[in-house]
Amino acid sequence: MSLIHFAGLCKSVLYSTAALIPTLFYLKMLFRVMMGEKLDLRHPKTYYEKIQWLKIHDRKGLYTSLVDKVTAKSYVAKMTGDESLVIKTLGVWKHFDDIDFDTLPDSFVLKANNSGGNRGVVICEDKSSFDRVSARRKLERALHRNLYWRYREWPYKNIPPAILAEEYIGKVDVDFNEVKLVCFNGKMNFAVVCLDRQSDKGTTYDFYDRDWNLLPFTYGKKEHNSGTLVPRPAHFDRMIEIAEKLSAGVHLMRVDFYDNPQQLRFGEMTFYDGSGFKLFHPGVWDGIIGSWLDIEEHDKKNAKGIIA
């Protein structure tokens, strides 16, 4: 058995028994399997070590409503005073079978409010050919999957599961670009542009600083750079303004946007970029970026014990 297959087997075992394992022990085991290194939670230095530390010690009730895809919208509209940033919600239901498809337009997006990334997202471009069977399977699975247990992302633990329908705004890489802004202690540090989602080679990740200079790293492998210089987004300054307002008083927040020359839209917020389990290439950047993220000493001294 190869090391890759062995690591995959270890992950499967951990995922299947996650609810039985205390948080501290679970994160240490998962970090060893996924990152290939020992997790130091007493003196975290790297970016991804600090993210694991934040999962344990930085827990505020507000965080749950900010990662809930239903309630996050009203928060963003209130904080920014700009409702046009928020993609229109067409309906919210507790179960897939409750959805009244007759009230929905020909094109729409369905999302599980308790999922991160694309795990609980279904895009319908033409209702007449929409595969409801596969959509139901994916969304109901997402509703019953609590991300807290798999990655210990605490804000997801107590989200009341629901499905929301959103206005369809077009295709990524065609009608808009997906841009993610990572903020440390209320200041935007770097942006990630995700491209090539529809290509055979898979999604690429390009990192830029505040002045839109390309940074010399990516996720995973060198090939995960797009190999092109992405033009500065039309609303980049506005993105920074919004992201810094939303992340004020928070150690780490990533704010995702959809952008084209005509309009800027809010995507989602997360407090644990990549859940703290993505490898950088070159690997030295895990330590460099970690040095930018200040986990204040008074927080460490006053931190409570591990919460299960």
Query: Where is the domain boundary, 112, 140, 167?
Result: 167
Q: Domain range spanning residue 244?
A: 177-270
* Alpha carbons 293 and 250: distance in angstroms, whole number: 11
At 301 the pLDDT is: 47
Residue-wise over 245-263: b if at least 16 C-beta within 10 A, else e?
A: ebbeebbbbbbbbbbbeee
Give the pLDDT of residue 197.
72
pLDDT score for 195:
84
Give the model's pLDDT for residue 199.
Answer: 66
Secondary structure of the chain in the HEC alphabet? CCHHHHHHHHHHHHHHCHHHCCHHHHHHHHHHHHHCCCCCCCCCCCHHHHHHHHHHHCCCCHHHHHHCCCHHHHHHHHHHCCHHHCCCEEEEECCHHHCCHHHCCCCEEEEECCCCCCCCEEEECCHHHCCHHHHHHHHHHHHCCCHHHHHCCHHHCCCCCCEEEEECCCCECCCEEEEEEEEECCEEEEEEEEECCCCCCCCEEEEECCCCCECCCEECCHHHCCCCCCCCCCCHHHHHHHHHHHCCCCCEEEEEEEECCCCEEEEEEECCHHHHCCCEECCCHHHHHHHHCCCCHHHHHHCCCCCC
- pLDDT string in tens for the chain (308-residue length): 555 666 777 888 898 899 999 999 999 999 999 999 999 999 999 999 999 999 999 999 999 999 999 999 999 999 999 999 999 999 999 999 999 999 999 999 999 999 887 889 999 999 999 999 999 999 999 999 998 999 999 999 999 999 999 999 998 777 888 999 999 999 999 999 988 776 666 788 999 999 999 999 998 766 678 888 889 999 999 999 999 999 999 999 999 999 998 999 999 999 999 999 999 999 999 999 999 999 975 455 445 544 55
Asked if 188 contacts 240 with a C-beta cutoff of 8 angstroms, the reply is: yes
Q: Are residues 157 and 202 in the same domain?
A: no
181 and 265 assigned to the same domain: yes
In a domain, 17, yes or no: no
Within-domain flag for 229:
yes
Residues 185 and 241 in one domain: yes
pLDDT of residue 299: 54
Task: For residue 49, tell me if it sits in a domain.
Answer: no
Domain end (from 145, 167, 189): 167
Residues 185 and 254 in one domain: yes
Domain ends where: 144, 167, 190? 167
In a domain, 36, yes or no: no
Residues 152 and 188 in one domain: no
Is 32 among the domain residues? no
Identify whether residues 159 and 217 lie together within a single domain. Answer: no
- Here the CATH number for the domain that contains residue 246 is 3.30.470
pLDDT recorded at residue 6: 67
Domain count, the chain: 2
